[in-house]
Amino acid sequence: MARGVAVLWWGMASFFSLVLIAVSALWIHALRRAPRHYEQEQARRISRRWLIGGGLLLPGVTILTLLIFGTPVGLRMLPLPVGGPPPLRIEVIGHQWWWEVRYPDQGVVTANQLVIPAGQPVDLLLGSRDVIHSFWVPRLAGKLDMLPGRTNRLRLKADQPGAYPGQCSEFCGSGHAHMQLDLRAVPADEFEAWIGARQDPQVEPPPSAVGEVFGDYCGQCHRVAGVSEGGLGPDLSDVGSRPRLGAGTLVNEPGALARWLREHRELKPGNAMPSHAHLPDEQLEAIALWLEGLAP
């Protein structure tokens, strides 16, 4: 889909650049040429030629050409029926400012990352919990709005395995720039392994001291499979395996989670997570160390 859009765009840009050059050349020629005298009938004939050629034929041929090349590109964007097994369904829900990702048929929930099988069509069911967001992965598909109370469907397909960064493309508040999505296309067997590891995650419970603090200050909003059932914030059951934190704010490297817990208000102003300034650094470090280990 993205390739078709890119080819169409470059074709349009090239064609209309030629139109601009031609019109500019005619304009300059008209300004520089010496005045001529025409008989009234000859002037009418020349006017009719310009009216028919420039006012009817040129726009008509241009619009027809755009329809001929643009219609197939538009059809490829539609979630039309396909032969064989139905496309994989994935729910992507926009929040201020993070992505909730659900695989309803597999019972898997994650956040800010989207893993799909390469070479297979995927249907994304797009919605929003608060304001209007817009889903956009430039190398795979066009943009599609995510509206509260409405589900839009987007068909995409990654021809090759690889990383395909995504971004919210509808201004949705102060954290809009930090609402990025890590989309990764992997071979089919690797995708099945990734799903299988998250269908029944074996999460090691936190040490008692850490568990008490996590339950009081984190578990009310965040879910960790078998530990807490909070549903307001991102699911943390596999947070240790995600490439980035805070929907693209930090690279998920050793120590990044501890920094996020301490500085999230400064790193991503306006995010809904309350300040943890009242908690000792030792407790935050212990929680972060446990969360880093949540990697199926």
Q: Kindly indicate the confidence band of residue 186, based on its pLDDT and cuts at 50, 70 and 90.
A: very high
pLDDT score recorded for residue 76: 76
Rounded mean pLDDT, 50-69: 87
Same domain for 227 and 179? no
Same domain for 130 and 57? no
pLDDT score recorded for residue 88: 93
Residue 203 lies in a domain: no
224 closest CA partner among 213, 239, 212: 239
Same domain for 58 and 136? no
Mean of pLDDT over the chain = 90
* Residues 157/198, Cβ–Cβ less than 8 Å: no
pLDDT score recorded for residue 2: 81
User: pLDDT exceeding 70 applies to what percent of the chain?
Assistant: 100
Residue 67 lies in a domain: yes
Domain edge (last residue) among 29, 44, 76:
76
* Residues 250/256, Cβ–Cβ less than 8 Å: yes
Q: Cα–chain-centroid distance for residue 246?
A: 15
- Domain with 61, as residue range(s), is 2-76
Indicate the pTM of the whole model: 0.80
Same domain for 129 and 158? yes
pLDDT tens digits, residue range 97-148?
Answer: 999 999 999 999 999 999 999 999 999 999 999 999 999 999 998 889 999 9
pLDDT score recorded for residue 192: 95
Overall number of domains in the chain: 3
